[in-house]
Homo-oligomer: A and B are copies of this chain.
């Protein structure tokens, strides 16, 4: 079996609705230009506040994908 190599890129996704949605926003965008996305890890969760509630969730993730030979 071959030894794979993966690359990790760091992205911040945003959403007005939820943490899960912010993560998916980032992954959806990455999927446009990167093939073989495999996994992600949440690095940081933060956001902006307006009118006494969360306005934008900003979730920073690392996304890992297979690097082709």
**B-binding residues in A (CB < 8 A):** 1, 3-16, 18-31, 37-42, 44-49, 51-54, 56-57, 60, 62-64, 67, 69
Which of B26, B44, B52 interacts with A41 by CB under 8 Å? B44
Number of chain copies forming the complex: 12
What is the CB-to-nearest-CB distance from A59 to chain B, in angstroms, rounded to a whole number?
A: 9
A-B CB contact pairs (8 Å), 28 listed: A1-B16, A3-B13, A3-B16, A3-B21, A3-B25, A3-B56, A4-B14, A5-B12, A5-B25, A5-B29, A6-B14, A7-B12, A8-B60, A19-B20, A23-B54, A24-B53, A24-B54, A27-B52, A27-B54, A28-B52, A31-B52, A38-B48, A38-B49, A39-B48, A41-B44, A41-B45, A42-B45, A42-B46
